[in-house]
């Protein structure tokens, strides 16, 4: 007897399509983007805390991690998934308001290494994982995002779909995997209001939950097929304005990985159009000295996350429209160093930051989340004014990064992680040509060789009993 159709059963049917080589090539771009972000992110203080904990309480193993060390399989997955968004440079999908790469890619890598998957299988799993997380994410509505970190709540579905693809689960097992991934999902935004490390926990747990749900499904571990629309399901519990039809809309359309944006600047995506606007003004130093005031008009959600006139540390600066715009007007393109403490408290930066006012523009808000727009207006002491409005930030599909831009970004990040330039070239080449490789061995070898030259972390000694 055929089981009743549910949203998850329809989604699973949709996910059985085979991506083309062009789709898989796009997955290579996102894989390279994650490598760059994670290689430097793993050197952050929060990553050090995780690594110390794993060295004390984790198991031994031989699984790849972007810190150049080897871990037990589950520990490598956990750390890889925790560090891809530390720099706030991870990829983003606008209408689902989430970041697929930091969760989906570590999940796919972990399973691919475990089962010795081919490059094509890995890339296909990434495309499918992105599709699942985006389709469910865009169905949850704005009300969900008010309280929940979508990358966490939806990431587990993407991780489960990527793993299910690699494990070649039956359609029913796919549904169980997605259902169980969703039943354990979570990630509350309260962590934004306190100095916490919780965001990394959100991503790591989403990846682990999804992968384990898929592995359990392979053992006939059942899950709820009506997890989304059921009376006590995800929509009912977390979203008053859910749009269930968005999960399966346009089933034959292009894979949604092409709707994702790459982030060129090391700051929250909600600041990027304002950054682009400030850069487009291209003021010289004399003009900057004559600034009387700066106004940033943008959408309401950007203000909710990034109205921070007095950022106290690097993370707050990355989420400060005022700081981002001030830095760009003073120094041009924002760099990693633009958000460190010495720059944050520099008198010239603080003075200009104090002249930046942010406000909502209702017309721009109406276009969100299809567009993350902003208008930057600079008024000078003589009463003159310059204005630039940006609809689509650099890196959006409508204003895309090119292949060389992406490689340059990877070079910047991996160089900051003290990886040799020649080794970075090999990583870029092997990643962007992965589809034509016979196995993943050469790709893992290029990464391992590149990471071998980095300063080695000395694990904390386990306490004596």
Over 80: is that where the pLDDT of 455 sits?
Answer: no
CB atoms within 10 A of CB 15: 20
Query: What average pLDDT score do residues 14-35 get?
Result: 98
Whether the per-residue pLDDT at 456 is higher than 70: the answer is no
Start-to-end CA distance of the chain, whole Å, equals 58
CA angle centred on 25, ends 265 and 69, rounded to 5°: 65
Decide if pLDDT at 171 tops 50: yes
Measured between alpha carbons, how far is 203 from 360 in angstroms, rounded to an integer?
30
- Tell me the average pLDDT across 208-225: 98
Q: What is the mean pLDDT of residues 415-437?
A: 96
Task: Evaluate whether 125 touches 111 at the Cβ level (below 8 Å).
Answer: yes
pLDDT tens track for 125-137: 999 999 999 999 9
| Beta bridge partner(s), residue 68 | none
The confidence score (pLDDT) of residue 195 equals 87
- Whether 3 has a pLDDT exceeding 80, the answer reads no
* Cα 362 to Cα 375: distance, rounded to the nearest angstrom: 12
What's the average model confidence in pLDDT over 197-214?
97
pLDDT tens for each residue of 244-271? 999 999 999 999 999 999 999 999 999 9
Helical H runs in 290-434?
300-306, 314-318, 321-331, 341-344, 347-353, 362-367, 403-416, 421-432
Q: Are strands 356-360 and 291-298 parallel, antiparallel or unpaired?
A: parallel
Confidence label for 55 from pLDDT (cuts 50, 70 and 90):
confident
Indicate if the pLDDT at residue 462 is higher than 50: no
Residue 460 pLDDT greater than 70, yes or no: no
pLDDT of residue 461: 35
pLDDT, mean of residues 411-421: 94
3-state secondary structure of 226: coil
The 10 Å Cβ neighbour count of residue 2 is 5
- Contact criterion met (CB below 8 Å) for 106 and 151: no
269-390 belongs to which CATH class? alpha beta
Interval 33-50 mean pLDDT:
96
377 alpha-carbon distance from chain centroid: 30
Tell me the pLDDT tens digit for each residue of 313-341. Answer: 998 999 999 999 999 999 999 999 999 99
The predicted pLDDT at position 363 comes to: 97
Mean pLDDT of 427-451: 95
Percent of the chain with pLDDT over 90: 90
Q: In percent, how much of the chain has pLDDT > 70?
A: 97
Structural contact between residues 121 and 24, judged by C-beta atoms closer than 8 angstroms: no
Other CB atoms within 10 Å distance of the CB of residue 194: 7
How many CB atoms lie under 10 A from the CB of residue 148? 22
Quote the pTM value: 0.93
* Domain edges within the chain: 7-259, 269-390
**Do 7-259 and 269-390 come out as alike in CATH topology?**
no
Q: How far is CA 463 from CA 52, 54, 56, 57, in A?
A: 12, 14, 8, 11
pLDDT surpassing 50 at residue 164 = yes
pLDDT > 90? residue 423: yes
- Confidence label for 235 from pLDDT (cuts 50, 70 and 90): very high
With CA atoms as reference, report the closest residue to 47 among 73, 103, 74, 85: 85
340-352 pLDDT, tens digit per residue, is 999 999 999 999 9
| Arithmetic mean of pLDDT over the chain | 94
DSSP string of 229-265?
TSTTSHHHHH-TT--GGGGTSSTTSPPGGGG-B---S
**Cα 156 to Cα 103: distance, rounded to the nearest angstrom:** 8
Output the CA–CA distances (angstroms, integers) from residue 365 to 115, 130, 165, 369, 387, in the order listed.
Answer: 46, 26, 37, 8, 18
Nearest to 29 by CA among 127, 161, 133: 127
Is the pLDDT confidence value at 458 over 60?
A: no
211's enclosing H/E stretch is: helix 198-218
Architecture of the structural domain at 7-259: Orthogonal Bundle (1.10)
Q: Which one has a higher pLDDT value, 370 or 168?
A: 168
């Amino acid at each position: 007897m055929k089981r009743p159709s549910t949203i998850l059963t329809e989604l699973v049917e949709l996910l059985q399509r085979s991506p083309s080589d062009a789709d898989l090539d796009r997955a290579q771009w996102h894989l390279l983007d994650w490598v760059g972000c994670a290689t430097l992110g793993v050197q952050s203080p929060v990553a050090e805390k995780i690594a110390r904990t794993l060295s004390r309480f984790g198991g031994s193993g031989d699984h790849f991690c972007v810190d150049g060390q080897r871990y037990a399989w589950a520990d490598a997955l956990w750390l890889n998934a925790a560090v891809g968004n530390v720099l706030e440079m991870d990829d983003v999908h606008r209408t689902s308001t989430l970041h697929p790469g930091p969760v989906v890619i570590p999940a796919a890598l972990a399973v691919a290494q475990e089962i010795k998957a081919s490059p094509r299988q890995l890339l296909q799993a990434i495309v499918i994982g992105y599709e699942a997380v985006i389709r469910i994410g865009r169905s949850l509505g704005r009300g969900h995002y008010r309280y929940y970190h979508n990358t966490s709540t939806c990431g587990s579905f993407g991780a489960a779909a990527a793993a299910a693809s690699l494990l070649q689960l039956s359609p029913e097992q796919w549904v169980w995997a997605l259902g169980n991934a969703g039943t354990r999902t979570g990630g509350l935004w309260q962590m934004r209001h306190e100095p916490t490390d919780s965001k990394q926990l959100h991503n790591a747990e989403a990846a682990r939950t999804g992968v384990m749900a898929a592995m359990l499904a392979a053992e006939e571990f059942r899950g709820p097929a009506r997890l989304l629309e059921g009376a006590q399901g995800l929509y009912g519990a977390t979203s008053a304005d859910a749009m269930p039809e968005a999960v399966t809309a346009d089933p034959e359309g292009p894979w949604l990985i092409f709707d994702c944006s790459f982030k060129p600047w090391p700051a929250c995506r909600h600041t990027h159009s304002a950054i682009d606007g400030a850069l487009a003004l291209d003021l010289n130093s004399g003009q900057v000295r004559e600034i009387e005031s700066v106004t940033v008009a943008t959408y309401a959600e950007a203000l909710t996350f990034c109205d921070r006139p007095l950022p106290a540390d690097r993370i707050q600066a990355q989420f400060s429209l005022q700081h981002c715009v001030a830095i760009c007007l003073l120094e041009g393109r924002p760099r990693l160093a633009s958000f460190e403490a010495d720059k944050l408290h520099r008198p010239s930066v603080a003075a200009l930051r104090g002249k930046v006012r942010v406000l909502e523009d209702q017309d721009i808000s109406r276009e969100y989340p299809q567009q993350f727009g902003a208008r930057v207006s600079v008024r000078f002491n003589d009463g003159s004014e310059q204005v630039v409005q940006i609809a689509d930030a650099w890196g959006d599909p409508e204003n895309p990064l090119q292949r060389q831009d992406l490689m340059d970004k990877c070079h910047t990040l991996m160089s900051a992680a003290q990886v040799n330039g020649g080794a970075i070239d090999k990583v870029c080449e092997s990643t962007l040509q992965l589809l034509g490789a016979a196995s993943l061995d050469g790709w893992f070898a290029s990464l391992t060789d590149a990471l071998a030259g980095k300063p080695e972390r000395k694990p904390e000694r386990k306490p004596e009993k």
